[in-house]
Each structure stands twice: as C-alpha cells, then as structure tokens.
Structure 1
C-alpha cells in the first residue's frame, strides 16, 4: 500500500479532530437529549433502551434536532492522549508534547468522584439490557484506557501527577468493582460498581491495568488479582479459540474488536508479569480472530458469522492488537489490505471516518470516541511499527 495514502488519511483525520477540539457525539449518547429528558417516560428502562437504539441505528443524525450537544468523552480523550504519546515517541515534536499536556489535563478534570480510587465513566446516561449506568458512573473500560494513556503521558513528560493518578486506579479496580467467583477461586470483575455482569473483555481490561500498575509498584496483590481474572476468562474460551461477549444468555454473540481486546489484555498481563501460562489461549484466540473476522478483500467483519455491519472500530483494533501482540511482520499484508479498504470506503472527504456500513442505511455520523479516537490511536500504532515513515517530511 502506498504509504503516502496512509499518511494523508491520518493527517486529514488529525485535522478534523483538532478542528472539533476532540468533542463530539457518541453512538450511545441519545439520553443526553433535552427533549427526551423532558418526557414523562424518560425514567423507564424500555423507553430508554428504545431511544438509545433509535439514535444508534439511525443513518440520520437526529442529535442536533433534540438537544444532544458535542461533548468530551473521557475514554475518547484517553485514546487521543495515547495516540499523541505514540506520535511523540515516533517524532518528538513540540506540537505533540503540547497536545499531550492539554489532553492529560482535560482527562484529569473528567474524573468521577466519590470512589475508592481514580476512575472515569461516560458523559451520558446509558441503558443496557442488563443494567442502567447514570452519567459519570465509572467503568473498568473507560478507567483502563484513561489510566494507560496517563502512564504513557508520564513517560513522555515525567510529570508525576499523571503517574500517581494512574496508579491510584488500582483502588477502584480492587475495591469498587464487584466480583463473580468460580469454584476454583478465579473471578470476573464487573463492568462497573453498579452491576454484577461477567463481560470477558471488561474484566480483562481490569487485569491489564493491574498488571501495568504492578510494573511501577511491585505490589504482588495486583498480579494475583490479575491472574485470577485472566484465568476466569480463559476458562470460558471456546475450544475453537473464540469468546462470547459474556455469560448472560443475551451476551452470546462473538464479535471482532472485543476478541481483540481479550487477546491484547492477556498478552499484556503475560508481558508485565513474566507469566506465560496463557500462551495457548492467546495462540488459539489469535488464530480464530484472524481467520473469522476479515474477508479476503480486506473487509473487517463485526461478527464472526456475517459481514455486515462493517464497523470502523474493527479496523482500528486489528492494528492495535497485532502491534501489541508483536505479530506485525507476519500479518503486515493483511493489516495493509484492511486499512486500505477502510480508508477507501469509510473515510469522508472531510477527514473523519464513518461509524458503520450496512447492507442498507449506512451510518456516516462522525462519532468522536467510537470512530475518530480509535482510528487516531490505531494510526499512531501503525506509525510506530513502520519505522520508515517520517511524518515531518510528508
């Protein structure tokens, strides 16, 4: 693939995100609607579910008509922050350093308060089938991506505040999240303090964060908890290497990017702990991932058993997963085929990436967290791996 095309695609994306000051809409932000909040049924589960799905599935962006504003999303800011840290590693430019400090300060301001440790949630009420999350409720997912980015920001800036806040998240993970134990004493972390669901990727993100913090603190309790939660997830891996989303009856789908999360997190635990006892799970999972989620033409599939919808997050996670697993060289052809297809079919002339392509009714809404932040982060991982690319001279 022509590297100039990749660099041009990234620079157009970067220009768009900076022009929006990293604020935007989200697929799940429908409950921020001032119109919906004024309705008498806004406090009930089914209307909330239906309203969110209407906004998530509609090819037309209804938000500007019902009072949903563009806002910061903590997880999205974390992804941008990590991306700029990667860019600084690639080329230590003052522009990147200034952005790192700006984004780190923003995300510190977005912390959820009143919990045992530093933590972050989403900027909207969120009704899932299994539970309801009020705006600002911290989740292990948002917290992990923000804390990981703050650790990277510390490595670049040497500002201890960033590292101290990231380390403090251990108390949220260990004290505020619920646990579901199996007969062996292994367990799954809950998604948030308000639920008891067992979602494998969410629990594994907690495992990853604890193992990352261990490298700075040497606290063995962190590794012990991380290993038990990794073990729980690996026991639920299917014989063919796949994972369902979770344990509930309506969590039995198998999808692309959550599989990528699982692989990345288990590999991170092994890297930080030196414990390689989950190698087989990673190898089986990676083989399943590469064989079932991408077509020969380079189309990234959302689910294992159907092509549509095509979601831009699946492309970004392929790049990140293979970069983090150290599997870049042997899979470079597939990476560039998928990235080339995505740029050609899912990037708007204004620079942003579309959310999803479907058989009918494509969603081309420029979601900031879901699409732009993930692709920005993925491009930065791509540039770290491709050492011959010099962004300054292109």
Structure 2
C-alpha cells in the first residue's frame, strides 16, 4: 500500500471493534510528497512532452495525404481520442508540449519549492532531488516564447490542430483557457521572484485579449465572453467564461485595477443566472447546443471561479450560488469513496481530470479530508501499477484507458497534489479524523457504514443507479 501512496492510519487505536484514526498534517505531507515528487519526475524525464487529449490531427499519416477532408479529420481525431488502447503510434501522432500543461507544471514546480522550504523550516530537510524553481522558470520562459502574437494582448493556445464540427482550429488560434492558466503561472512567478515583474506586465495585457478579441459584451444579466476565436454564434461555453472571470480576478488581485473586478463580476453575474435548479451548469448554453450535460470537471472550473472571487474580494455576492453548486458537486458528482462521476446521471467513465478538479475545489473550500479521499481513489484506481507517479486517463466500467496524457494526467495531478499539500502543510488540524468500523455486522448503523466506506478507496467505486457508461465525451473543441 505504501508504494501506491496511501497514508498510514497515523495514531491508530482499536476500541470495541472500531478503529479511531487521526492523520496529522505533517504525516499527510510526508506520505504524499514522494508521490508528487514521482509525478513531476515522470514529466521531467519526458521534458513535459507527451500525448495530449485531442491530438489526433497531429498524425503524420493524416498530414501526408494530398487532400484534406473534414469527415476524415473527425474520424481520425475521435478514433485516437476514444479507442480503448493507445493508437497514436499506429497513426504516428507527433507528441508536443501542451501550452496549458506547461503552465500547470510551472505552478506545480513552484509549489513544490514552497513545500521544500517549509520542510527545511519545520524538519531540517534540505536534500532536493531536483531544482523545482529552475524548472518553473524554464517553463515560464517557454510560455513567453511560445505565446501567440498579433492579437490585442497576451494569449496562448493548444499546439495541435483541432477539427470542430464545422470549422478547424489551428495551433495559431488562441483561447481563454490556455491563456488564463499561463497568466496564473506568470503572476505566481512575479509574486515569488522580485526580478520577474515583466511576467506580470505581460500577463496584464491578457485582459485586452479577453475584451477585444474574445468579444466581451454586456448583456441584460451581466456579460459574456467567447471561449476561442472560432466559437459558434448560437451557443455559449459556460466554463470557459468562468475561467476568463477567474483570470480577471487574478489580475485584480495583483494590480488592483477596478475594471478587472467589474468585468469579472458581470461575467459571473451572467453565469450565476444560468445555474440549474439542482446546482450545476450545462457545458453550453443553451444546453441543447452540446451533447455534454453537467459533467464533473467543467462544473468544477465554474465553482472554482466563484470560490476565487469570494476569497480575493471577501465578498458573499455569490454565496447562495456557491452553496448550491458545492452541494451538487459534492453529492452528485462524487461518490462516498472519492470516485468521480462523469456527470449528474452517469458514473462512467471516471476521468482523472474530474478527480484533480475535485481535489482543487475541495482544497480551496477547506474540505481537506474529502480532497484526500479523492486523491486516494486516484492512487488506487488510476495510478499505473508498479510505477508510482504515472497515471492513466480514464476508468470505464469494464476496462481502463491505459494511456498517460502528459497534461491531462501528469500536469493536473502535479498541480492538484501540490495545491493540496500546501494547504495541508498550512493546516494545524488532522486531515483525516474519522471513526472507522472494523467489520460490518447486524448492529452496524448507517453512519458507521458510511465511516467504513471512507476508510479505504474502492477499486470500482460504482454507484448502482448511475453506473451505465455515458454516451458523452468532451466536445470536439473542448480541450480543458
């Protein structure tokens, strides 16, 4: 169990058939920090380059054809994305470093540096297996070099062509999601390095990209902004707009410009009005514009934006929206053992990105026990057996998609774990304190049964009403 990154039960005492568990913050960091180290080490060995979600059009076989066909593009792209085994070698898909993935790795490395500094202060631990600050600096510089130019401000995008249903995206097309995460990495660098202010100044210009190039426009209920340059006019991608609002709050937090706060508020006002009665958001508005329903990780992005607004501004403007959303997210999109559900109706496929976003949301909410429960489920179900720190992409009802996507798996796990461990290291309470039943018997209460379910993650985690695999997969243009 230790090789899989599971924590010991800490101080354990057995009383009357029950086990009293208490895992301190220090013990939790000591248990999971090596897993984070191994996760980053895998990425470093590959120079942060690897397979990516939706990279099928980088097939050298497809690109060698004398003509281009939209239907053929879609067939190849979706075949590479959806097949149970990795067919990228068969199609000779070129692996590249993903733009948003580089931002995630940059932030994870800098978080690792902070954890190391705390280790030195708390325990005198000074031996680092690598230079995390140097890695972060190298990745941030790469983000600067690989930015997309000739727009109103700083922006970035995916480095693979993407076939949409009616148009084709090319690597020179920027989007708000890639841009926003690079902005976070820039501002983190500027906060931790007095000589890195130029990163913040570059990040500041991303607001102009959002307003001028992504069609920021005010509407009756607030404001809207497009996901990318080729977005259809008849629909609106909710989570992308929320990430744009998150970016504006990031810029407001750093620079204090009221215009950033005002625009973020208007975008979130509009998103708040679109919340469904059960607390979630469809992938697109109107909901009929997408086959995706209220899927897990995209709802997590929306919730995180509202959390960030609350935390930075100290505002309860969206308190009711956030309370309802968190209840839906917690109760409908995760099982008791930490397994992520695909959406509000389907458990499968269980996606690592849904797990990592859950870790981030519940860490930000201070629900560290739940965040750790999700992390433990990932390590039990999606970590490659015998290879600590490497992860598979998805778990289906009867098989696992045995593909390691560099950004989707390694990048998100690195970032989510590092944020979780920083929060734990700053906490003075036990991460996991619960009464766990040793064995079920006829006298076991419902509360005790729940406690037993929390004790260890399951390896299938199904919930019977919702275990039919979803027909849904992400939109052809959804790369988040």
State TM-score, norm by structure 2: 0.76
Q: Is the 8 A contact 1:41 1:47 kept in 2?
A: no
How big is each residue's C-alpha offset from its partner over 1:94-147, in whole Å with a ceiling of 9 and x where there is no partner?
812111211111111110111110100001011234653211311000000111
Verify: 1:383 aligned to 2:421, yes or no.
yes
Verify: 1:162 aligned to 2:188, yes or no.
no
The 5-angstrom pairing of residues 128-147 of structure 1 reads: 128-129=164-165, 131-147=167-183
Q: Distance in 1 between matches of 2:172 and 2:377?
A: 36
Q: Distance in 2 between matches of 1:101 and 1:334?
A: 32
Identify which range, 230-239 or 240-249, moves more after superposition.
240-249
Q: Distance in 2 between matches of 1:19 and 1:66?
A: 24
1:15 matched residue in structure 2? 41
Verify: 1:111 aligned to 2:147, yes or no.
yes
Q: Distance in 1 between matches of 2:256 and 2:369?
A: 39
Identify which range, 89-98 or 263-272, moves more after superposition.
89-98
Q: CA deviation at 1:361?
A: 4.2
SS at structure 1 position matched to 2:139: helix
1:216 matched residue in structure 2? 254
Q: Distance in 2 between matches of 1:303 and 1:24?
A: 27
Q: Is the 8 A contact 2:363 2:371 kept in 1?
A: no
2:237 matched residue in structure 1? 199
Q: Is the 8 A contact 1:179 1:188 kept in 2?
A: yes
Q: Distance in 2 between matches of 1:388 and 1:168?
A: 33
Q: Distance in 2 between matches of 1:275 and 1:386?
A: 24
Equivalent of residue 296 in structure 2, options 256, 259, 280: 256
Residue 57 to residue 117, structure 1, CA distance change in 2 (3 Å)? same
Residue 48 to residue 152, structure 1, CA distance change in 2 (3 Å)? same
1:56 matched residue in structure 2? 81
Q: Distance in 2 between matches of 1:388 and 1:212?
A: 22
Q: Distance in 1 between matches of 2:243 and 2:166?
A: 19
Verify: 1:339 aligned to 2:375, yes or no.
yes
How big is each residue's C-alpha offset from its partner over 1:125-178, in whole Å with a ceiling of 9 and x where there is no partner?
112346532113110000001111110011112211211111111111111102
Considering only CA atoms, is the larger Rg found in Structure 1 or Structure 2? Answer: 2
Verify: 1:293 aligned to 2:333, yes or no.
yes
1:392 matched residue in structure 2? none
Q: Is the 8 A contact 2:53 2:408 kept in 1?
A: yes
Q: Is the 8 A contact 1:87 1:96 kept in 2?
A: yes
Identify which range, 136-145 or 290-299, moves more after superposition.
290-299
Higher helix share: 1
Q: Is the 8 A contact 1:117 1:172 kept in 2?
A: yes
1:190 matched residue in structure 2? 226
Q: CA RMSD in A?
A: 2.0
Q: Distance in 1 between matches of 2:191 and 2:110?
A: 9
SS at structure 2 position matched to 1:187: strand
Q: Is the 8 A contact 1:29 1:68 kept in 2?
A: yes
Q: Is the 8 A contact 2:210 2:216 kept in 1?
A: no
Residue 87 to residue 12, structure 1, CA distance change in 2 (3 Å)? closer
2:446 matched residue in structure 1? none
Q: Distance in 2 between matches of 1:31 and 1:180?
A: 33
Q: Is the 8 A contact 2:362 2:370 kept in 1?
A: no
Q: Distance in 1 between matches of 2:88 and 2:220?
A: 47
The 5-angstrom pairing of residues 262-341 of structure 1 reads: 262-324=302-364, 327-328=365-366, 331-341=367-377
Residue 345 to residue 5, structure 1, CA distance change in 2 (3 Å)? farther
The 5-angstrom pairing of residues 85-100 of structure 1 reads: 85-92=110-117, 95-100=131-136
Residue 333 to residue 268, structure 1, CA distance change in 2 (3 Å)? closer
Verify: 1:82 aligned to 2:122, yes or no.
no
Q: CA deviation at 1:50?
A: 2.0
Identify which range, 266-275 or 356-365, moves more after superposition.
266-275
